Amino acid sequence: MVNPLDHPLFQRVSHWINLINFCVLAVTGWLIHFPYPGAPMNLIRNLHFVFMYFLLINGIVRFYYSFFGKYKDYDSILLNKQDIKNIWPQTKYYLFLGKHPETGKYNPLQKIAYIALPILAIFQAITGFILYKPEQLAGFANMLGGLAAVRGLHCLIMWILLAVIAVHIYLVFTSAYEQFLFMFFGKLRNEKGI
């Protein structure tokens, strides 16, 4: 059963904002990389940057809330000794090779993803800025192996983010459907309306 305090309204809204941001960033990023004739490229680039700012601002607010908010949850996201021990058993469970280990609110692989996603998003923003201002940020581009390497890194990070999101969606619908209902609708299945 889902505990409503596991996902307070602020966290759910932050999650919705991230969903919208990632969808818009993926589509606009694809259109920037593979433009079609007559595409409104200025609009597409502007949307890409506006939603990147929304993503970063949402991430900063969520990070702050994790440590100082009413329902701070940093301790349930950071890895502990038990999580380190459970990384391999959890991996085996996901590969259908073992039993589900005893975990807390989040399992160790979720925690690794939740720690890695903001780091990847920051690096994605940095590579995006370099691509947007290649002449002004040529020094940074050179540190990363040149503009072509920066473009490749930006694209690689996008695919990593999309893969993590795809796995997240798969696992939600196969093993945490009640949490999906609560995350998006604020109600559990046994409540009226769901």
Higher pLDDT, 26 or 169: 26
Q: Which CATH number fits domain 4-185: 1.10.3720.10, 3.40.50.2300, 1.20.950.20, 3.40.50.1260?
A: 1.20.950.20
- Report the alpha-carbon distance of residue 95 to residue 64 in Å, rounded: 35
Number of H helices, E strands in the chain: 8, 0
Between helices 147-175 and 108-132, what is the axis angle to 10°? Answer: 150
Question: In percent, how much of the chain has pLDDT > 70?
Answer: 92
Break the chain into its structural domains and give their ranges. Answer: 4-185
State pTM to two decimals.
Answer: 0.81
Average pLDDT over the chain reads 88
Q: CA separation (Å) from 10 to 7, 13, 16? A: 8, 5, 10
How far is the first Cα of the chain from the last one, in angstroms, to the nearest whole number?
15
pLDDT(193) > 50: no
Q: Band the pLDDT of 3: cuts 50, 70, 90.
A: low
pLDDT, one tens digit per residue, over 13-55 is 898 999 999 999 999 999 999 998 999 999 999 999 999 999 9
